[in-house]
Amino acid sequence: GDSVTQTEGPVTVSESESLIINCTYSATSIAYPNLFWYVRYPGEGLQLLLKVITAGQKGSSRGFEATYNKETTSFHLQKASVQESDSAVYYCALGHDTNAYKVIFGKGTHLHVLP
Amino acid sequence: AQTIHQWPVAEIKAVGSPLSLGCTIKGKSSPNLYWYWQATGGTLQQLFYSITVGQVESVVQLNLSASRPKDDQFILSTEKLLLSHSGFYLCAWSDNNQAPLFGEGTRLSVL
């Protein structure tokens, strides 16, 4: 079936350090999946951070980047220098290319950034 | 700009009691609408989706039902709550082939 696996948290890093949260997917029923990263900051709702719908392309937002790699079925989230305000739960998600009605989420990765 | 509003923000209910959660989207006509659920420590699971008024598709069976009585409204309900219904319920909307955008969510505790 279709699934998303991401780094198990919590992940703790110090401010100004680099970050990578791994995400791999399995899309057996989807020819060209759309890939997303969502974020939930403390006390807030779930927000779309970035999305990429074409293999080989990179998405970026708020200093975060993720590249859609079809060969390795990965969509890792990276940031060169994290800030304390990046502390949140990050979710990788897989969407259908033609049937937008089904989106599958990973379990989420809780990120703590120490000041 | 589109806005999505869920109500209530939180509920504490007894096992066996009925439940109704609501979601309204403003500023967008004919959106795709979704209900998601996340148990504590669990994965966000899609429960239902709707592409038009009066039509709802079930994705996961959890002894819940959903209805879309108006273009901008999506309701999640059950006549009898179970302990396993506790968790966080999120409503979302999207345009076709776009990423869903979420409301603030409703936290449900079933005791």
* Interchain proximity A101–B99, CB inside 8 Å: no
Question: What are the DSSP calls for B60-73, one per residue?
Answer: S-SS-EEEEEETTE
A45 vs B: CB within 8 A? yes
Q: Give A86's DSSP letter.
A: G
| CA–CA distance, A57 with A32 (Å, rounded to integer) | 13
* Interchain proximity A46–B49, CB inside 8 Å: no
Span B55-100, pLDDT tens digits: 999 988 889 999 999 999 999 999 999 999 999 999 999 987 788 9
Q: Give A9's DSSP letter.
A: S
Which chain A residues touch B44 with a CB distance below 8 Å?
46, 91, 105, 108
* Interchain proximity B100–A103, CB inside 8 Å: yes
Residue type at B46 in one-letter notation: Q
Helix then strand count (H, E) for chain A reads: 0, 12
Q: Give A52's DSSP letter.
A: E
Span A12-32, pLDDT tens digits: 999 999 999 999 999 887 778
B97 vs A: CB within 8 A? yes
